[in-house]
Structure 1
């Protein structure tokens, strides 16, 4: 279940000018709240993309290891190894 959050943010100077240029009739957003929600969504997507790229890189490296270097492990060995990290 998601909860709602209220944020109060103060920007001034060039940041305020930049936000103002992006809202209202001249901008892409109707209001500041819509703009901030879109920025948060984009940042969330970026974080998810970065995590997926890291996972892909780790899997690519893991699958590049020659099969002769594979070690048999049982569940207890994996749990013990992960407990050390």
Structure 2
């Protein structure tokens, strides 16, 4: 369900918004413009998060087979139990 949010803007900003909306603007309404700005900001943040995650995973993805160590589930459980006791 959509919620209503009120925003006050004045001066140069309201003039700019009016230029971007309405019959001569790129957006039909101020609401449509604000939704688009929020969506763009959200998508930019999500892309930044993905890029950061890719950067963290990249060394592992590019590692050679000789850099990996075989471990069993029991090894992992034992190691983690040891960390909990510390």
Give yes or no for TM over 0.5: yes
Aligned-residue Cα RMSD (Å) equals 2.5
2:37 — aligned with what?
39
**Cα distance 1:77–1:10, how it changes in 2: closer, same or farther (>3 A)?**
farther
Matched, 1:4 2:28: no
| Inter-partner Cα distance in structure 2 for 1:78 and 1:28 | 59
Q: Count matched residues.
A: 79
Q: How does 1:1-85 map to 2 (within 5 A)?
A: 3-65=1-63, 70=68, 72=71, 74=73, 75-76=76-77
Q: Distance in 2 between matches of 1:36 and 1:63?
A: 39
TM-score, scaled relative to structure 1: 0.72
- Which one has a bigger Cα radius of gyration? 2
Q: Following TM superposition, by how much is the alpha carbon of 1:36 offset from its aligned partner in structure 2, in angstroms?
A: 0.7
Moved more, 53-62 or 29-38: 53-62
Give 1:73 shift. 6.9
Q: Which moved more, 1:59-68 or 1:46-55?
A: 59-68
Unaligned runs of 5+ in 2: none
Distance (Å, rounded) in 1 between the aligned partners of 2:3 and 2:20: 23
- Which segments of 5 or more consecutive residues in structure 1 lack a partner in the other structure? none
